Amino acid sequence: MSQNRKFEITDARGGAAFAVRVVTRAAASEIVGTQEGGALKIRLKAASAGDSVANDELVALLADKLEVAPNRIEIVAGINNRDKMISVEGITTADLEARFGDLKSEE
């Protein structure tokens, strides 16, 4: 049974930052929910979470969902891993919570 869990967002210089867990080789790119630790779970079509194609796909998906330019989104940690830290310039934690706060926890 799914439970709602608090999506973990922190203030960053000039914006906000949050963790994501990337799952690759999906049929469609989508934001699925949140992990137990508060990371956002995202499915991507790309073959590997650590390659530039997956990172570009991730940034494009987040830019679309957050309605910001892709150049305002940066992968600040985990660029070669499936667990990443994302920073979004010029957005508040309240903006992120409004967009992602109602996501369900994935078990």
Structure tokens at 12: 């960053």
- At 35 the three-state DSSP class reads coil
| pLDDT digits 0-9 by tens, 2-51 | 344 444 555 555 788 899 999 999 999 999 988 878 889 999 999 898 89
In a domain, 58, yes or no: yes
Distance CA 106, CA 15 (A): 26
Residue 30 lies in a domain: yes
Report yes or no on 5 lying in a domain. no
State how many domains the chain has: 1
The answer as to whether 2 is a domain residue is no
What's the confidence (pLDDT) of residue 34? 85
Contacts for 52 with CB less than 8 Å, ≥ 6 apart: none
Residue 27 lies in a domain: yes
52-89 pLDDT per residue, tens: 999 999 999 999 999 999 999 999 999 999 999 999 99
Task: Give me the CATH number covering residue 74.
Answer: 3.30.1200.10
Does residue 71 lie in a domain region?
yes
β-strand partners of 86:
18, 75
Residue 107 within a domain: no
DSSP state of 45: S
Q: Considering the domain boundaries, does residue 25 fall inside one?
A: yes
Element (H, E) at 63: helix 52-66
